[in-house]
Amino acid sequence: MAQAPADVESGPAKELASPSVASEAPAYSDAPVASPQKHDEKAKPEVTVVAEKVNADGRPTDQLAGSAVARGAGDGPKTEATASDAATKTAATTAADESAEPTREAEAKTPAASARSVEQVKTTDARADQDQHDSSAPVLPTEQQSHSTAPLASDSSACSPAELDPLLKDQDAHREANSEQVLDAPLLSGRDEHQREIARLPAEDPVPATKSAVGRHVACILIVCIVGYGGWRAVTNTSTATNTSAAPRPTPAPRPSLRTPAPPHVSEYVMSKSYVDEHFFSHFDFWDEQPDPTHGSVEYLGKDAAFSHGLANASHDRVYMGADMLNVASMRPSVRVTSKAQFNEGLFIISLDHIPTGCGTWPAFWMYGADAEHVWPTWGELDIIEGAHKSTVSSSTLHTTEGCDQSALQPGTDFNGTWNAGQSESHPASNCDVNAEGQWTNQGCGQAAPEGSMGATFNGVGGGTFAVEWDPVNGYIRLWFWRSDAVPEDIAEGSPRPEAWGMPYSFFRLAEDVCPAKHFQNMRIVFDLTFCGDLGTPTFADGCPEHAQMPCNVFVEHNPEAMKEAYWSIRALTVYHKNASIV
């Protein structure tokens, strides 16, 4: 608000603003934990060895379609040893022939142990491969099938050609009598029958005896390898199955979600008073003295007249104060109220859904201190919401006596708003003294709020909320603004935490070297709506160029219909304190 002339003592005055309108402010999910990998899906390739039939003299008479197939867990390309590789095929088939009988002999010696070993391998193989080998899987053509065998169960760990000769002779005789018989099922893997089809190939030319002899040595080595692999696999499978059933792999604890709410904090502020209800006006005095200290074209009505003319009313969730919108009047009837309570610190939060706007209007929500012995601005003034005409940017301003300089504060570093300009655009109005050099009389130090903090823009989105923290102990006055859809939750919950609100749009330092806290004392809350006056008159042509052909006061007098947006609608006004109580 601006200072009245020196001879006016009827009350505090509002500021005389620059002829130019104040500049506007620039404006895991966690991935699922992979289940433990099946113990035999990727650990070892499956190897199939099928033996060929031989005569009593060691030469092959018939041959089983045996192919060694190495397959990865991903059903990748298969590598198959075919009949064209004569030397390799002979070695492999001879090894399989010679491996069969020693194994049976070993089983005959220890039938119970052999049966248990084979059964254990079958069980663990079936359990491990249950998911991979579904019984409904299609059967591949004979030449494409893989023939997987279980590890041979045997108690022997070494062999020699001398030990194997008698066995091989018995085997040759047996094979001549049963040339079309396949290997016994227990020597196979124990997998489903549709996965174990064996193909038979036509007989080939006799193989030299020397190759048969070499084949026997290879067979011995192969038996040792197969038995060793079988024992390792059986132990590994059994151990894995046991560990899986006995102690399932624990699922790691989920990572903290980025949406996890922060732990609750207790506000250092305690609510002192919530004003908006049916008794709002019992806490305020109506100003009905004339003339207006700010030289406006207004007639402030007393309490009874304001209620009878419908310019003021209060309910449990809304307070309304406005101007006459019906009559032609040289002095437009309106309302100004001042709180009975005085304040020396506190957090003041106000939510509104409508602020007066329109050509000729000059609304303000502000605080000031004064009494008979301390004339304004001895105890200072703080304008929270203030603007004229159709402005969509509010200004927050301090008015003091000499000795309150805020020029060291920098926009973007200390606050998010901008300085209002002084008498020149290059000279910010950063000195709060009402008589500061380079500024308009009673201009004070003013900072612009965000775009949309008043006017049609503010009203069109449902309003917003302002918060003012006046803390002389910590040495500052700072202000925030939020649109109605962005108000912090802690305010809605009645537990405000200014430290969580980020950088304020307005900040003033209270310190002995720049602006002693004693400049602001015993201040009261004020709502008013005046017209033209010290701020509205010099800015009328710029603010309302469509009506610039007439003076501001003439427009206001003869256009009551233009005042339809000239009213306050207050939804909440709450005061919080740290330690001090209301005086």
Rounded to whole angstroms, the Cα distance separating 142 from 125 reads 23
Q: Identify the weakest region by mean pLDDT among 77-91, 296-310, 335-349.
A: 77-91
Q: 396-419 pLDDT, tens per residue? A: 999 999 999 999 999 999 999 999
pLDDT reported for residue 31: 38
Rounded to whole angstroms, the Cα distance separating 380 from 521 reads 7
Taking the C-alpha atoms of 271, 272, 277 and 281 in order, what is their torsion angle to the nearest 10 degrees?
-150
Q: At what angle do helices 86-109 and 161-177 cross, to 10 degrees?
A: 100
In a domain, 260, yes or no: no
In a domain, 6, yes or no: no
Q: Does the structure show a pLDDT above 60 at 73? A: no
Give how far Cα 364 sits from Cα of 15, 386, 467, 527, Å: 11, 4, 15, 6
Which of 230, 246, 262 delimits the end of a domain? 246
pLDDT reported for residue 178: 52
Residues 300 and 239 in one domain: no
Main-chain phi, psi angles of 284, to 5 degrees? -130, 150
pLDDT reported for residue 32: 39
Question: What contacts 85, CB < 8 A, 6 or more positions away?
Answer: none
Q: Per the structure, how many domains does the chain have? A: 2
Q: Which residues are catalytic?
A: 381, 386
Pair 333, 563: CB distance under 8 Å: no
Q: Does the structure show a pLDDT above 50 at 577? A: yes
In a domain, 362, yes or no: yes
Q: Are strands 464-471 and 476-483 parallel, antiparallel or unpaired?
A: antiparallel
Domain coverage including residue 403: 280-463+501-577
Q: Once rounded to an integer, what is the mean pLDDT over residues 425-450?
A: 97
Residues 111 and 233 in one domain: yes
Partners of 400 in the beta sheet?
A: 433
- The DSSP annotation for 507-567 comes to EEE-BTTTB-GGGS-SEEEEEEEEESHHHHTTTHHHH-GGGTTS-HHHHHHH-GGGGTT-E
Whether the ω angle into residue 5 lies within 30 degrees of 0, i.e. cis, is no
Q: Does the structure show a pLDDT above 90 at 346? A: yes
Residues 324 and 236 in one domain: no
Q: 28-40 pLDDT, tens per residue? A: 334 333 333 333 4
pLDDT reported for residue 171: 56
Which of 222, 246, 270 delimits the end of a domain? 246
In a domain, 85, yes or no: yes
pLDDT reported for residue 351: 98
Pair 563, 325: CB distance under 8 Å: yes
Pair 52, 66: CB distance under 8 Å: yes
Residues 190 and 60 in one domain: yes
Which of 224, 246, 268 delimits the end of a domain? 246
Bigger pLDDT: 142 or 484?
A: 484
pLDDT reported for residue 192: 46
The confidence band for 162, taking pLDDT boundaries of 50, 70 and 90, is low
The confidence band for 177, taking pLDDT boundaries of 50, 70 and 90, is low
Q: Identify the weakest region by mean pLDDT among 215-229, 284-298, 342-356, 555-569.
A: 215-229
Q: Does the structure show a pLDDT above 50 at 25? A: no
pLDDT reported for residue 290: 87
pLDDT reported for residue 266: 67
Bigger pLDDT: 380 or 225?
A: 380
In a domain, 259, yes or no: no
Find the length of the chain.
Answer: 583
What CATH number is associated with residue 330?
2.60.120.200
Question: What contacts 122, CB < 8 A, 6 or more positions away?
Answer: 150, 189, 190
Question: What contacts 530, CB < 8 A, 6 or more positions away?
Answer: 14, 292, 294, 296, 297, 298, 334, 336, 362, 363, 536
Residues 192 and 305 in one domain: no
Rounded to whole angstroms, the Cα distance separating 174 from 55 reads 10
Q: Does the structure show a pLDDT above 70 at 536? A: yes
Residues 440 and 564 in one domain: yes
